[in-house]
Structure 1
């Protein structure tokens, strides 16, 4: 049984790797390679709390969005640790109202901008919403938009995550319906004290990455 599971997981990883390469090529993007942040241009002291950059798999991203199934044109997408911009562009294709990428590594922001321009040049017929790539420490970003989908691919440790969640909860406009997507939810215990309730859990996601979704909406 263990060998079967290992084989299945290995095939799943290979499938995702090939699928990521395929879609990067299809969309004229360069988002697939992982990056150690220690080699990046980062001025923030928060780097000691950060994780290395690795893009969310295309298949996992669309699986999550299919499960959440919101009227995207009424929501904003905010990716904390947006890296090279893969999820920003996929969110744009889904039709979110506005898309924001918060990334403290200047080099990765430049990659994301390059990917955005490459996509728009290759697919001028696809209308994208405003995609704003913000070179900023997540601690210094205070959401002002109403109705948001906050996206976290385990970008930093609990010290930073707790404060970012507090900012999202505190600064979102009154009456805002907010959803929090948390991939690899190692610190899911930080959501409850802020009044955020878990509404969805994906157990058998790609590469055994669990996903939890929280909301402030009743």
Structure 2
């Protein structure tokens, strides 16, 4: 029954031209998992140190086709897999900001691992946006398990919504992306961020892990690269450019 549901979900979200590519991609993925022995590993063995420490469930990968997603943008989404804890923690802790003045937003929050990491800093708020109702429910449950002594942020929430529709706060932002969707959706999100900056110039930091579509940010005049590696890039909004545009 689950297989039939996944096939129907994939059929409804993909054209005849792209469906064969999806089938091939999933075939080779599961073949790799089968040969590695990971496919039949018990869920208890898949628990990460993070989940053991927090009593959460953020580790298990979920393919988009296995999720019941109403949005048509599901065809442009990337499967859920958790962000690397130590790497992300180091990046967020190294930001040159006064956390109290910023709202942290995770675009494609999945099961909420990064929300839990950000919640341990004094952000004004930590907000996740997730368009899978099932993953959003898991994230909300995981948020409820944060120990009071580890929850420092003023507000920690995950919203069931599409990133192309969710309103952007007018305060300074830290925006997090773990390669959550393809070029089309990333372009739409970058345009919304640029429009928000024009309306209200302010500091916005972009943390982009596995930046497959960083060329979209690089093409905009509103962002400066302040840090990068083979696995990530961090941008900061160019207030000087924004103020020039308003004059």
TM-score band by shorter chain is 0.7 to 0.9
For structure 1, list consecutive stretches of 5 or more residues without a partner in the other structure: 1-17, 204-209
**Aligned partners of 2:108 and 2:55: how far apart in 1?**
21
**Aligned counterparts, 1:72-151, within 5 A:** 72-119=99-146, 123-126=147-150, 127-151=152-176
Question: Cα offset for 1:125?
Answer: 3.3
Match of 2:184? 159
Match of 2:217? 191
Residue 174 (str. 1) matches residue 200 (str. 2): yes
**Aligned partners of 2:126 and 2:211: how far apart in 1?**
23
SS at match of 2:140: helix
SS at match of 2:137: helix
CA distance 1:104–1:216, shift in 2 (3 Å): same
Residue 212 (str. 1) matches residue 233 (str. 2): yes
Deviation string for 1:85-129 (max 9, x for gaps)? 01011101112111110110000000001101122xxx2334442
How does the TM-score come out when normalised to structure 1? 0.82
Question: Cα offset for 1:39?
Answer: 1.1
SS at match of 2:234: strand
SS at match of 1:190: helix
**Aligned partners of 1:183 and 1:101: how far apart in 2?**
16
For structure 2, list consecutive stretches of 5 or more residues without a partner in the other structure: 1-44, 240-247
Question: Cα offset for 1:182?
Answer: 0.7
Question: Cα offset for 1:141?
Answer: 1.7
RMSD of aligned alpha carbons: 1.7
**Aligned partners of 1:125 and 1:164: how far apart in 2?**
34
Deviation string for 1:120-172 (max 9, x for gaps)? xxx23344421121111111123023110110000000100001011122124
Which has the larger Rg?
2
Greater relative contact order, per chain length (Cα 8 Å cut-off, separation 6+): 1
How does the TM-score come out when normalised to structure 2? 0.73
**Aligned partners of 1:202 and 1:38: how far apart in 2?**
31
Q: Is the 8 A contact 1:79 1:152 kept in 2?
A: yes
